[in-house]
C-alpha cells in the first residue's frame, strides 16, 4: 500500500477539487452547446476528467498517512 505524506494528500485533494470544477464547467458547456463536433470534444474531455478524478480518489482512499 502506498503511503502519502500529509502534504501529498492535500495536493491530491486540491487536484481533485480542480478536476471537479472542470467537470462541472464541461457539464454546463454540454448543456449549452449545439454544435455536435464541439459537443463531442467537450464530452471526451469530461470523460477523461472523470477518469482522473476516480484515479486520484482511489489513490487517496487506499493510502495511509505517514
Closest by CA position to 12, among listed 47, 61, 49, 51: 61
Instruction: Record the cell numbers describing residue 11, joined without a space.
Output: 495536493
Q: Which of 3-7, 34-38, 56-60 has the lowest mean pLDDT?
A: 56-60
Name the pLDDT band for 66 (thresholds 50, 70, 90): very low
Can you give the pTM of this predicted structure?
A: 0.68
Amino acid at each position: 500500500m502506498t503511503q502519502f505524506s500529509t502534504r501529498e494528500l492535500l495536493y491530491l485533494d486540491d487536484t481533485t477539487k480542480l478536476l471537479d470544477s472542470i467537470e462541472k464547467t464541461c457539464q454546463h458547456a454540454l448543456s449549452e452547446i449545439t454544435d455536435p463536433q464541439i459537443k463531442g470534444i467537450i464530452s471526451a474531455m469530461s470523460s477523461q476528467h472523470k477518469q482522473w478524478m476516480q484515479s486520484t480518489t482511489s489513490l487517496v482512499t487506499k493510502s495511509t498517512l505517514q
